[in-house]
Structure 1
Amino acid sequence: MTKIKLCGIRRPEDVAMVNRVKPDYAGFVFAPGRRQVKAEQAENLRRQLDPAIAAVGVFVKAPVEEAAALANRGTIQLIQLHGEEDEAYVKALRERTKAPIIRVIRVRGPESLWDLDRYDCDYFLLDTYSGSQFGGMGKTFDHSLIRQARFPRPFFLAGGLDSANVAAAIAESSPFGVDTSSGIETAGIKDENKIRAFVSAVRKEEQS
């Protein structure tokens, strides 16, 4: 079964919507931006989130101690590194927490997916490259590049996924999981109809 990650959860109303559809993962963005949550907000949201849903903390070059502390307190269960952090950063993180690490690969061409063995992580997340920001752009990349790559660990597929294209994306690339944020929003706010449509599209694809 393809795992489902709904990212950019930042309000109690968002948590309530997520709890009703029961994805596998919910993402809290700690990096600066319009979806950013602070540690205290995330702790409150985690308490409201269904315990069966794993919370993922999304970071861009955050202090190692910050990410590790949130994981060790149980605010998040996985750490997603979106800022092209180096191996020294990951090593320091591994020394401070046992939380699984998702490393984001921003895909701009086939070379982005070469030699993935060099990365220390538990999962990859493939997103669309942009020179101006890290994620959340709502743009897809060429999924045919995935077929040319060898993945030493499971990967999530992200980048412009919504209810209209996620089934085809799963069929083409067979990811471990799919991730969306802007694809389940209307005017920057989480939209329950879009959330339900996205989750339904993934689960129908699994049944087909």
Structure 2
Amino acid sequence: MVKLKICGLRRVKDIEVVNKYVPEYIGFVFAKSKRQVSLEEAKILKAKLHPEIKAVGVFVNESIANVCRCVEERVIDCIQLHGDEDNNYIVKLKKKVNVPIIKAFRVGSKEELISKIESLEEAPIDYYLFDTYTASAYGGSGESFDWNKLKSLVGKQIQKPYFLAGGIGSDNLKEAIAHKPYAIDMSSKLENNACFKDENKIKQIIDIFNEVIE
């Protein structure tokens, strides 16, 4: 069954909403972003989070020490690396933490994606995450990419379970699920105009998930 991750939570109200619906994962963005939270803010949110929901920390080229601190203080249950982290970085990090590591790839051309995956094929990565390539940011564009680029790679270059991200909302969620990723990662399309999570939009996608599962 495809799982759900709701990323970019930054208010207690957001936590109260996801606690009603219990997605498998939520995300705290520690990287520079309009959704960024500090470690202290994330501690408060994690303390109120339903125990069955795993918290993912999203980092971009962060120091290993800072990532480890978030794990050691039990603020996050998984690590998502969304920057230029290389094999050496991931090996060092994995030696220090005992939580799953998700490595994000921004999808441009298929050839570039294959090259990026192959450069990390020896790294101790637990999950991949595929997001839309934008030149100006490491993620969070709210735009989709051509998911068909992944089809011929699954089982070949893509040999790990993966999260599918990038502009997924109620309008294209069923199509995203049909690609059979490990999990769907959603953020911007679950927000209002102020970039805060919208309970009505979250309920709508939960209803779609339940409809597909049934």
Contact 2:25 2:56 in 1 (8 A): yes
RMSD: 1.1
Q: CA deviation at 1:67?
A: 0.7
- Listed one character per residue, the Cα deviations across residues 167-186 of structure 1 (whole Å, up to 9, x for unaligned) are 11211x11010001101001
Describe the SS at the equivalent of 1:79.
strand
Describe the SS at the equivalent of 1:75.
coil
Between the aligned partners of 1:141 and 1:203, the Cα distance in structure 2 is 25
Between the aligned partners of 1:77 and 1:169, the Cα distance in structure 2 is 25
Query: Aligned letter for 1:192?
Result: E
Between the aligned partners of 1:114 and 1:134, the Cα distance in structure 2 is 18
**Alignment partner of 1:128 is 2:135:** no
* TM superposition score normalised by structure 1: 0.95
Between the aligned partners of 2:2 and 2:136, the Cα distance in structure 1 is 30
Of 179, 184, 190, the residue aligned with 1:178 is 184
Between the aligned partners of 2:112 and 2:201, the Cα distance in structure 1 is 31
Q: Which runs of 5+ in 2 are unaligned?
A: none
Between the aligned partners of 1:19 and 1:38, the Cα distance in structure 2 is 21
Match of residue 71 from structure 1:
71
Number of residue-to-residue matches in the alignment: 206
Contact 1:106 1:112 in 2 (8 A): no
Between the aligned partners of 1:14 and 1:102, the Cα distance in structure 2 is 23
Query: Aligned letter for 1:127?
Result: D
Match of residue 154 from structure 1:
161
Q: How does 1:54-203 map to 2 (within 5 A)?
A: 54-114=54-114, 116=117, 118-119=120-121, 120=123, 121-149=125-153, 150=156, 151-171=158-178, 173-187=179-193, 188-203=195-210
Contact 1:29 1:36 in 2 (8 A): yes
Match of residue 5 from structure 2:
5
Contact 1:81 1:102 in 2 (8 A): yes
Between the aligned partners of 1:203 and 1:183, the Cα distance in structure 2 is 18
Contact 1:84 1:104 in 2 (8 A): no
Describe the SS at the equivalent of 2:76.
coil
Q: CA deviation at 1:14?
A: 0.4
Q: How does 1:26-45 map to 2 (within 5 A)?
A: 26-45=26-45
* TM superposition score normalised by structure 2: 0.93
TM superposition outliers: structure 1 runs of 4+ over 6 Å: none
Q: CA deviation at 1:198?
A: 1.5
Between the aligned partners of 1:42 and 1:107, the Cα distance in structure 2 is 29
Query: Aligned letter for 2:206?
Result: V
